[in-house]
Each structure stands twice: as C-alpha cells, then as structure tokens.
Structure 1
Amino acid sequence: MSAAERDHQKLLVEIKTTKYDSANMLQLFIKRYEKRLLRDHDRIHSLDYHVISGLKKQAPKLFVSYILPFNFSFPETKANAYTMEETTLNQEFVDEAHDRHQQVFAWTVDDDDDMTRMIFLNVDGIITDNLHELQVNLETTFDHPSYAQRLLIYSNELQDVSDSEGMPQN
C-alpha cells in the first residue's frame, strides 16, 4: 500500500476468504485499513457476499464491488459495483447496474477485441494484464478523429432508420 500511495496509484483490493479465516477477520480488516482506503480512494472487491454485506454494514463509506464469475441474473445487493468476468458480461447487465447507480468492472480483459467490446458496453473499468494494449485501444477509440467521425455517422444512420420507421408510409 505504501508503494501505491507513493506513486499515487489507486488500488482495487480483493478480499479472498477461506474456511480458516477467523470469525472477526472482517472487523480486523476494517480496523486496520478503513481510514487508509478511504483517504486514498481505494476500492475493495470480493467473491464472498458475506464480505460485501459485512463491509456495507460495518464500514458503509468504503467502496465495495461484488465479484461475479458469470452473468446468470442481476443480483440485488448493496454493493457499489460489480466486477464481472467479461465473457458473459452484456449490455443489459451494464444498463441495469447503471440504472441502479452501481458501477461495472470487467475482468480479465486482455484481448484487443474484447477491450473494444467492453468500451462500447460502457463499463466503468477494465481489469487487464495487458495495460499497454488497453492504453493503445483507448487512445485509438477516443482520440482518433476518423474513428470518432465514423461513430458519429453510424449514430446518425441509426437515428435516421429509427425516425423513418416511425413515419407513416404514403
């Protein structure tokens, strides 16, 4: 954590639980790290919903994301976000989360095409082992004028089709 603070790097801390954890593991974690995590605007995520609900109950100011390995249905949680494995993540899930004021992080997105798909799904974060590829993809997607122009044209064409479908035929 000290290295991240020195480099002004925000963290996404994963809490992994086992059957050997002490009964007060969560209280000890909160006591030791809550102030530091809040100060540095770091985030926490976990596959264990008991951790998610416990953190929201005992340290409600912490930003907590529930890790979901598959998109079976939209969960009803108090989590601030969902960290979803990217292969089953879809637009409906992202839209539902955003409608509920929850964020969505996609993991582990290492392929260029998958990165582009996550960008167009409007996820709030992409977890990758290939940071350089993601940076290049983001730059190409958002900074390349011809690409932006093509998106505008495509968007206008969709609007034209949508408008013409609603017009009465003569």
Structure 2
Amino acid sequence: INPVTIAHRGVNQKNGVPNTLESLKKTIKYHPDYIEMDVHMTKDNKFIVLHDNNLKKLAGIKAHPEDLTLAELKKLNVTANNHQTKLTDFDTYLKYANQHHQKLLIELKTTPNNATNFANIFAKRYYANIIENHHQLHTLDFQTLMILQNDIPKGNLNYLMPYNLTIPEENIHAYGMRYSTLSPDFVAINRQKHKLVYAWTPNSRLAINKALSLGVNGIVTDNVSQLHVAIKEAQHWSDAERLLQVLLYS
C-alpha cells in the first residue's frame, strides 16, 4: 500500500483559495507527489488556473472564464475557505511548481465556448514543459483526451470517469474514478492491463481507508496531510486487517 499522494485543487485542509498561487505555496510544504489543479482557456486564448465554469461562486460576478481576457481575470478578487486572493495565470503557477520540483496533475476544463483547437493550443504551448517536468494531464472529455494523445504522445494522459461502467481500450495511463464507485474488480482488471487507478476525492479517514484497502495507485484528496498518516498506518495492516477493510467498504 503505497499510492501516490495528490492534493486536490492545490489545497490541504482548506488552507487557501483552491487553484491559486497562494494555496500552492502552502500545500507544497506537505510534500504531495502531485498537486491537482484545473485550467480554463480565456477570451484571448491564454490559460487561467480555475475550476468552475462560472465566476459567481468565487468572484461574485456572472461571467465565464472564456468571456474575459487573462488580464481582466487576474484583477478579480476570489474568496473561499475564509481566504481571499487573486486568480493565477497558468504560466505563473507552472513556473513556481517547476522551481520547487513539484509535479502537477493538470485537468483541462472544456466548455462549449472554448476555441475548437483549445487542446491543440495547450499541447503546442506546454508539450516540452510537461514532459521535462513529469507533469500529468487529465480530462473528463474523451475527445480532448484523444487530441492530447496525438499532440503529446509521450505524456502521461489520464481519463476521468465518474463511474466505472466501461474500460476504454485506448492507450491511457490512468483512470480517475470517484472513490465511492470503485470496486476491487475494477482495480484488479486495470492492474492486469497495466493501467493505474486514481481514487477521487476521499477526504474523511474512513473514505481514505476504503481507497487504501482497494489497492489504488493514487489518491486525490483535500486532506493530503491526513492521507500521509493513513498510508503509514495502512502499510502495517495484517492480511486480516486489510480483508476487514475491504469487507467494510465493499
């Protein structure tokens, strides 16, 4: 039991506004293997670090990221978890992560209003950087994944699937799956196919133990400090204790 640890949206225990440079700086100190973060394209075909497709929740305005230029987006105050800061452009976020040898798990957020060559633009601009610094990419959109496979053939590309109903046969590095829908069979089948499974987003200790008992390859969580503790304890489980965990959560 030794999954890679992944800090969801770059935070740990609500230590900042998700997907911002300020929270990245704090969360790096917990030494996750990867920091997961989200990228949207802006009106001027640049990239902003942001999860939601609407700025209402974080910034209090009714607008989509693709409605504004990068300069306009960076002027906005965003608030979450009792913290306030500014949005961060992807170039700045990426540069800081590279300087601190922090690997990223980058989600490309697709919307109907994106430029049709959105994924191509991203791949062309960041291909060398992603390969050199061992970052990973993932997306919920299968068409975007296929474009990235063509444009970044040597990259580690992951497919996010809300439910484990099917297993696509394409050359995919890993599958991201909601932890509550995972089963021992799904993990075992992917292991046989030499594919990785990342569990999303167990935050309580019970949920983390469920993911650990299934033997997943990575865990994406909002509480990476707790995950580190849970992994150390799980490595000392006896066979009987691990079986008990599987039975409890299956």
TM-score (norm 1): 0.82
**Residue in 2 that maps onto 1:11:** 104
The residue that corresponds to 1:114 in the other structure is 207
The CA RMSD measured in Å over matched residues stands at 1.5
Q: Secondary structure at the match of 1:27?
A: helix
- How is 1:1-170 mapped onto 2 (pairs within 5 angstroms)? 1-142=94-235, 147-148=236-237, 150-151=238-239, 154=240
**Contact 2:124 2:151 (8 Å CA) reproduced:** no
Matches of 2:131 and 2:167 in 1, distance apart? 28
Deviation by residue 1:108-163 (Cα, 9 ceiling, x = unmatched): 11011221121121111100000111011011122xxxx44x33xx39xxxxxxxx
State the 4+ residue runs in structure 1 displaced beyond 3 angstroms. Answer: none
Richer in strand (by share):
2
Paired residues of 1:97 and 1:103 also in contact (CA < 8 A): yes
Q: Matched residues, percent identical?
A: 32
Q: What are the ranges of 5 or more consecutive residues in structure 1 without an aligned counterpart?
A: 156-170
Q: Which runs of 5+ in 2 are unaligned?
A: 1-93, 242-250
Alpha-carbon distance between aligned partners in 2 of 1:35 and 1:98, rounded to the nearest angstrom: 29
Is the Cα–Cα contact under 8 Å of residues 53 and 78 in structure 1 kept in the other structure?
no
Shift of 1:27: 1.4
Structure of larger gyration radius: 1
SS at match of 1:29: helix
Separation of aligned partners in 2, 1:32 and 1:44: 14
Name the SS of the counterpart of 1:13 in structure 2: strand
Q: CA deviation at 1:52?
A: 1.0
Aligned to 2:63: none
Helix, strand or coil for the counterpart of 1:18? coil
Q: What is the rounded CA distance, in whole Å, between the counterparts of 1:34 and 1:121 in structure 2?
A: 33
Scaled by the length of structure 2, the TM-score of the pair is 0.56
Q: Could you tell me how far 1:90 is from its partner in structure 2?
A: 1.0
Give 1:70's aligned amino acid: Y
Larger helix proportion, structure 1 or 2?
Answer: 1
The answer (yes or no) to whether the contact 1:38–1:62 under 8 Å persists in 2 is yes
Q: Helix, strand or coil: the match of 2:103?
A: coil
